[in-house]
Amino acid sequence: MKAFQAVKIISGTLIVLASLNAYAQSNDAAAAPDATAAPSAKAVRAANRALQRKVLKALARAKGLTAGNITVRARGGAVTLEGRVSDQGQSDIAGKTAQGVPGVTSVKNALEIREQ
């Protein structure tokens, strides 16, 4: 009878310890952000603005280009150039400069040639 009582006590103790151990473990899947999860809308807007600033900075530094009347829109790596330039050469320079900026995947050159 004492052996049976000892087995019950040991079994009960092991069950309690096992349940406490399982409860104390952290859930790594919930604690770590999912790498495949889509970024938040705020992060996407910030990335688009940062890319827009990079392209504008590159356009301002480009030789042979007056970038004062050029507007840049960026969305997910796709860049759109809008505004007016004085000739086709400046439009080409703007497109090539924008394409050379890291992070740009495509460039839509919607620049208008301003007649003088």
Query: 95: domain range?
Result: 2-113
Q: What's 36's domain CATH number?
A: 3.30.1340.30
User: Tokens for 46?
Assistant: 């910030």
What phi and psi values does residue 70 have, to the nearest 5 degrees?
A: -105, 130
What phi and psi values does residue 104 have, to the nearest 5 degrees?
A: -85, 125
Query: Measured between alpha carbons, how far is 83 from 80 in angstroms, rounded to an integer?
Result: 10
Per-residue pLDDT, averaged over 59-68, amounts to 92
pLDDT at 106 over 70: yes
- Given a contact cutoff of 8 angstroms between Cβ atoms, the answer to whether 67 and 94 are in contact is yes
**Total structural domains within the chain:** 1
How much of the chain, in percent, has pLDDT values that exceed 70?
Answer: 80
Query: Measured between alpha carbons, how far is 92 from 97 in angstroms, rounded to an integer?
Result: 8
